[in-house]
Amino acid sequence: MKFAAASIAIALTLAGVGAHAAADKARLTLKANPTMAFSPARIVVTADMTGGPNDNQQLYCPAIEWEWGDGTKSEESADCDPYQAGKTEIKRHFTADHTYRVENEIGAISDYRDYRIQLRLKKNGKVVLSGGTTVKIKPEMEPATAVSRLP
């Protein structure tokens, strides 16, 4: 019986260590504003990184790639000071905007379309952290065509 109790205590301790390690792992949370819109629609996306140490070298000065879900991407990189352990702090807030121009096909039913927005932080060409969100964009309405006849 003592052996079983000791095994359970060890298992609970190990589970607690694993949960603590998972809580310390960095992650990205993206928010789009607005989340639903009519085309043409300017969407502003903010991303916040939570968890992980502030001096994580792997996340210091990454290349940034936004994929907008409509076949386009935005990329940026910064010219950063050299990394110094214990002194250098990572960037935790990212913002970008994108304008969706969605046209409706002639005769098609105009319904909202989903676009998956992804933010990827890259180091040496490899993704080190990513996150995403979805927006809904309704295509532009067909222009009303008025036929006027002069007498």
- pLDDT, one tens digit per residue, over 129-150 is 999 999 999 998 765 544 444 5
**Could you tell me the pTM of the whole model?**
0.76
Residue 102 φ/ψ region, left for φ over 0, alpha for ψ in the -120 to 50 degree band, beta for the rest: beta
Residue 58: CB atoms within 10 A of its CB come to 13
The full set of domains in the chain, from first to last, is 25-138 (2.60.40.10)
Grade residue 22 by pLDDT with cuts at 50, 70 and 90. very low
Average pLDDT of the residues in 7-26 = 46
CA atoms of 144 and 148, how far apart (whole Å):
12
pLDDT at 10 over 50: no
Confidence at residue 36, expressed as pLDDT on a 0 to 100 scale: 97
